[in-house]
Amino acid sequence: MKLNVKPSLVVSIPKRSYPIFVGVDIFENVDYSQFFIGNKALIVTDDHIAPILLDRVTKTLSKFADVDFLILKSGETSKNMETLSRIHSKLIENNFDRSSTLIALGGGVIGDITGFAAATYQRGINYIQLPTTLLAQVDSSVGGKTGVNHPLGKNMIGAFHQPLAVVIDISFLSTLSDRQYCSGVAEVIKYGLIKDKDFYSWLIENIKMLKCRDHSALITAVEASIQIKAAVVAADEREENIRAILNFGHTFGHAIESFQRYEGFLHGEAISVGMILAMSASGLLGQTSDADLDLLTNALQQFELPVNVPKDMTKEIFLDYMDRDKKVLDGNIRLILLKSIGHAYLESTETKPLLDKLFKTL
Ligand code: GLY
């Protein structure tokens, strides 16, 4: 075995920089000895991924540490304090200490909850992200946002805790249903919209290749996405300003997910509708055009992503959930809007009149 895979990029945060490896079938060829400080590791995964990848991952990591595992129920409804407590109990019962390492093997839910368990166990231990969904590969595994949901709002309880490394093996995406895969594509499209017009155009031109999960198109899409994410996180790790643009479409999307108790749309599906609403709001301010909105709508629909607000969701329900979003400041719902394609910004003015106008068009 050649442990010779080099990082595709590094997230540069003072004292906590870490590598991101991207490739097809690279998992076995990364030198994990550089990351383990103690000899114990716990893989946290779910009951969808475990039958497919747990043996493979355990076999490889066992060459570097004593490896145990914990299998959670898959899905957003597991991302709560009870499940977090199960991870902590497993760590305490099995004498994991501060030199131990957690391994998040799964999608966004597994990455967020495992990262939060690492952030909170004995005041913080190391963890490595092995994302298996497109959504986790391009977004949640990078940047150190960890946490769990509260019944009253998504990701309300959490911490910033950067991983030691992120290993993105594109071959892991074969574990995904078409629906989950397309949900991840919504986040990829988001990166083009917020920061890179040329990448957005490339995505529109390569919809067919991405739809058939062409490996070379996927490597381009994943690397371009995480390059944008890594640069934004390096500039503003704790979301004091610019990092907020990564939440384009998310204020609306989180409201939909919370309203549906995380059992309706997948995250990327909610973000798809959220991006339509955020671009519509940008259009009301004269910053993006009807043609921009049509192009986005068409692209999302080609990936079978929803573009309409759930029928039972009224303006009042939206505002109620949006009022509880973490981006509310001094009672003002702060929106991420587009000045133009490839240029997102945090709208700092009073947004209620704009939201009133937007919700009248629904
Ligand atoms: N998913 C948004 C962020 O990491 O900031």
Task: List, as one string, the DSSP characters of 81-146.
Answer: HHHHHHHHHHHHHTT--TT-EEEEEESHHHHHHHHHHHHHGGG--EEEEEE-SHHIIIIITSS-EE
d(CA 42, CA 57): 11
* Single pTM value for the model: 0.93
d(CA 316, CA 313): 8
Is 241 annotated in the active site? no
Same domain, 109 and 61: yes
Is 145 annotated in the active site? yes
* Structural domain range at position 94: 9-175
Whether 104 is in a domain gets the answer: yes
Question: pLDDT for 221-273, tens place per residue?
Answer: 999 999 999 999 999 999 999 999 999 999 999 999 989 988 899 999 999 99
d(CA 271, CA 61): 34
Question: pLDDT for 98-126, tens place per residue?
Answer: 999 999 999 999 999 999 999 999 999 99
Is 239 annotated in the active site? yes
CATH code, domain carrying 205: 1.20.1090.10
**Nearest residue by C-alpha to atom 2 in ligand 1:** 246
Domain end among 175, 190, 213: 175
Lowest average pLDDT, out of 167-176, 334-343, 345-354, goes to: 345-354
d(CA 265, CA 267): 6
Same domain, 161 and 204: no
- Please state, rounded to an integer, the average pLDDT across all residues of the chain: 95
Catalytic residue among 79, 161, 190, 254: 254
CA of 65 to the centre of ligand 1 (A): 31
- Cβ neighbours of 62 (radius 10 Å): 11
Is 267 annotated in the active site? yes
Mutate to test the pocket of ligand 1, among 246, 250, 257, 267 (most ligand atoms within 8 A of CB): 246
d(CA 241, CA 347): 11
Whether 46 is in a domain gets the answer: yes
Same domain, 276 and 163: no
**Nearest residue by C-alpha to atom 5 in ligand 1:** 246
Same domain, 92 and 104: yes
Ligand 1 atom closest to the Cα of residue 239 is 5
Return the DSSP state at 349: S
In which residue are the tokens 């019962």 written? 93
Ligand 1 contacts (CB < 6 A) are: 139, 143, 145, 243, 246-247
Which is nearest to 315 in space by CA: 283, 277, 349, 287?
Answer: 277
Whether 171 is in a domain gets the answer: yes
In three-state secondary structure terms, 213 is coil
Percent of the residues in the chain that have a pLDDT greater than 90, as a whole number = 86
Is 229 annotated in the active site? yes
Let me know how long the chain is: 362
Q: Is the pLDDT of residue 178 over 70?
A: yes
Catalytic residue among 250, 257, 269, 347: 250
Return the DSSP state at 350: -
CA of 140 to the centre of ligand 1 (A): 6
d(CA 163, CA 215): 25
In this structure, what are the phi and psi dihedrals at residue 183, rounded to the nearest 5 degrees?
Answer: -60, -40
Residue-wise DSSP of 40-58: EEEEEEETTTIIIIIHHHH
Is 187 annotated in the active site? yes
**Nearest residue by C-alpha to atom 3 in ligand 1:** 246
Same domain, 170 and 202: no
